[in-house]
Structure 1
Amino acid sequence: MGTDFSTQTIHAGYDPIEHGHAAVPPIYASAAFDLENALRGDALASGQAEGFEYSRVANPTVDALEQRLAVLEHGIGAVAVSSGMAAVTYALMCAAEGGGRIIAPTNLYGASVDALGDFLPQFGIHTDFVSNINDLDEVASKIGPNTRAIFAETVANPSTTILDVEPLAELAHRHGIALIVDNTVPTPYLFNPILFGADIVVHSTTKGITGHGNAIGGAVIDGGHFDWANGRFPQFTARQQVISDDRTDQWHSFAEKFGKAAFIKRIRIKYLRTFGAVASPFNAYLSLIGLETLPQRVAQQVASAKAIAEHLSRSPHVIKVNYSGLGYTPQYELIGKYFPRGVGQILSFLVDGDANNVRRIIDGTRLFSYVPNIGDARSLIVDPAHITHREVPAEARIAAGVSDNLIRLSIGLESVHDLIADLDQAIAAAY
């Protein structure tokens, strides 16, 4: 098996011999699987044997996607779920359940801010927000006895602010807390957070991984380096019926039974199995097909995004362009370290005038689709303040640069010349 990324996107985690010699991973549209005999059924149910019994817990198509994503992100295991937000909430709850606290910035995706600030507190999980996640002193000032994790996006949406992962991971680990990152915008092709110290990676596979806007999905990937038995995480050291055998009086905790894989096993056995945000085999299949062209798609999208960002920075009525891949941005020194292939296909820009000008630009484009998604093969345009960040409180929204005059683009696979011409005519007509 080759080790190059483009080879792994096609071959990793799948052996045709185990699936009727099918060259492409088949769609296993089966709710359950024959246990074969009573002895094997008992071994499967107790976790002593590997295999499939019920698709709410594991499915062969979904398993192929999980194995491939684990390889691409340099993790020890992955769990695919039904959406990116299921991945985010499962990972945060798994780390902080039972009264833990999370440190996070306010410049996250809108639904993540809503979950952390308004919804998870209803479950006893609270967040200490910071204005700048790369300010280690500010982050350190929030660390307390109940802090369990730091959560951030590797590339923020829509500002494209880059997370300085390595020093943040070192700070977290000095205090025995985990670093959980959302790597949706760059995808594993542009960045592998685990290689720089991140413990858990989450994705909305809906976006660049699947890449065609046709399948909702998410994934949690475990780096396998964190000690979940260090005393801050009682849920990992408490003995649990679901992984024990009371008939033989063998009792286990997740940390005892699974060691470094305790987190990803808890995601599957407790969160996926009981909360049930199960990935559809058909959507997993579409994600596997999308992954096969991930390097080629993202490479072209990055090149186009950079060209469009450079063009917009010289365009009339454009006040500011947010794209960390430009050579003069404050974070440019981090590009060489973390993002030699580019920061992604997302950019945003601020225009003069008022909300009416923004509406006329959006309505005036002909190639850009007005769609609240990113990473599609089609180019997309949206006004984040009214769509993707509507649930973010105004103060945090403005601090993140999401004003009413901000427009976000997700660059697709169309001709970059056609995309620039479309933006030029829409902007000109809006004024």
Structure 2
Amino acid sequence: MRNRTTVMVSIVLAMLVASMDTTIANTTMPIIVNDIGGNSLYAWAFTSYMVLSTVLAPLAGRLSDLFGRKRIYAAGILLFLGGSVLCGLADSMVQLIIFRAIQGIGAGVMMPFPSIIAGDIYPVEQRGKVQAFFTGMWGLAAILAPTLGTFFVTYLNWRWIFFVNVPICLIALLALLPYKEVYQPKKAVIDYWGALLFAAGISSLLLITVVHSYAYLYGAIGVVLLVAFFLYEKGHAAPIVPMTLMRNKPVALMIGGSFLSCAALFGTSSFIPLFLQNQGHSLFVSGIALLGTSIGWMVVAIPSGKWVIRFGYKPLLLTGNALLVITAVLLFFIREGTSFGYVFSTLTMLGLSFGLLFTVSTIGAQQLVEAHQKGISTSLQLFARNIGTAVSVTVMGSIVTKADIFYTGIHGMFIYGLIASIVAFAVPLAIRSVRKEPLSG
């Protein structure tokens, strides 16, 4: 029990600091550019972090299956800590981009482990509560990040947005020391070429979402590399992404469903604050609206573990996707003059949907595979959500920016969200009845 408590402290702090770092950098980047220059490279300070943190998540999960959770997770914390120090010392935008990439590698390695380790140390009926707690950390990060960013810029220096990570990471490492690992790693040959092909292919595809020049070239390179990755993995004795996992139909459908549901509406949280600010609401109030999502998420995530045992996966996933469609309908009716209360209630409904979908699919990713595949399965769930979120933000952003009138763009992006959520609803229909008892502990 003591080991369980200390490791929870470690993974919660790591999740908090990694989730805060993207937002806190976003709010202060204009000030950083004014200090060190490099305005033409502005977007790459986000791109380097986002691409590498997304790509590394499934690879970290697989490495944890091979070498154990503790050492891979600790390596991620150390990389993030080192990258944070270097970012705080950067004197040019080129340096900052490189150091943000190191941070992104560390964040990508760290982020899957809350769900992976929780799956190792908690029984299935308690995992809903744990996932709800993790969600609360995301909500806390959403509030803390802009507040801390403003404080550091006003009273200290922008460099402290990175230096503040150091003590938090150190505490996370110290809390991890007494942890006695539950999972026994399975030794195997490391699939270096598979990891390289996968990382390069996904990175090329992700660049389409943030770089406008040569987008088609990046896309073509990404497709070619991923085809090569698939062919290479089929013949490897210990592939970085086991193809047998994709033959597990319920797990594969849950991964696909996670991608589609995030691609449909997860980008909403990036644009609702902008909508409310155009309505005359303050930065603080527009941020508070996002708490509706966290509240709804926690309400359903807490009992989800017990619901999985009682009802099974398919009915809960169908319910979550039905709530997603209802949310999309409510968002469709948002117009200029829509009240804060309506927006907050709609985002609460969105939280109910994603809280159910994410918690149930995470439990499924852990319970419907063998123990030695739990890390990669959980990480692929996170990976699918990250890719879906990148798609959602990109498509919605494109619709809003290309519209002549702001509110026309907002309405257009929610039309997209409604259509995409209906498509996402079809995925769990293909899941056959799955046993409620876990295949792995």
TM-score by length of 2: 0.28
Structure ranking higher in strand proportion? 1
Structure showing the higher helix proportion among its residues: 2
Computing the radius of gyration from Cα coordinates, the structure with the larger value is 1
Considering Cα pairs closer than 8 Å and 6+ residues apart, tell me whether 1 or 2 has the greater RCO: 2
